[in-house]
Amino acid sequence: MLLKVQELVAAGQPLDLQGTLDMSDLFQNNSEYSPLSPMKFDVTAQAVGDRILVSGQLSCDIRLQCSRCLEKFDETISVPFEEQFRIIEDSETEVSENDDAVPVSEERIDLSPYLLEGLVVQLPYAPLCSEDCKGLCLDCGKNLNEQSCGCNTEKIDPRMAALQDWFKSQKE
């Protein structure tokens, strides 16, 4: 998705950009995140002084793996997007450290990597199929959402366990 900088500045008005970006390459070798659709973007680019502000909404359908029960589930992710670019001259080397804006000197900005990153960083880090997912039994590995197992999952306080072992060894 190329944004033509001079055209945008010359137009003197915001430019709406809509389209899709393929994400399958990005998650090719990833079993936890499988995109079910290309990413959709609907953003507005606006030139303000020496800056270009791009903001809007990103969305995609994605298959996620629950971090507790490891089951796959599908979700539609929709997140806001905002990025700022600063037009600089080729000769300009001084870059303010307090400036979040991405310096650009080319006539065209390829927005694709910024849009993709904008969505990816907001994907759930530890996805959950549901808020109260019971997860897997730590002993037998059964999915506790589907059936309960007969395991004794009562939590044993490790301090008490140590004490019990110690008492036992004293008696022997």
Q: Which stretch binds Zn ion (CB under 5 A): 4-12, 39-47, 104-112, 122-130?
A: 122-130
Give the torsion through C-alpha atoms of 9, 15, 18, 22, to 10 deg.
10
Min separation Cβ 138 and Zn ion, Å: 8
Which of 5, 54, 129, 136 contacts Zn ion by CB under 5 A?
Answer: 129
With CB under 5 A as the contact rule, the residue among 79, 101, 120, 137 that binds Zn ion is 137
Interface pattern 70-109 for Zn ion (x via CB under 5 A): ----------------------------------------
Comparison of 88 and 149: residue with beta carbon closer to Zn ion: 149
**The one-letter amino acid at 30:** N
- Is residue 51 within 8 Å of residue 104, measured between CB atoms? no
For 127, the 3-state DSSP assignment is coil
C-beta of residue 96 within 8 angstroms of C-beta of residue 102: no
**Spatial distance between the Cα atoms of 45 and 17, rounded to a whole number of angstroms:** 7
Q: Which amino acid does the sequence have at 8?
A: L
Residues 50-69 that bind Zn ion (CB under 5 A): 66, 68-69
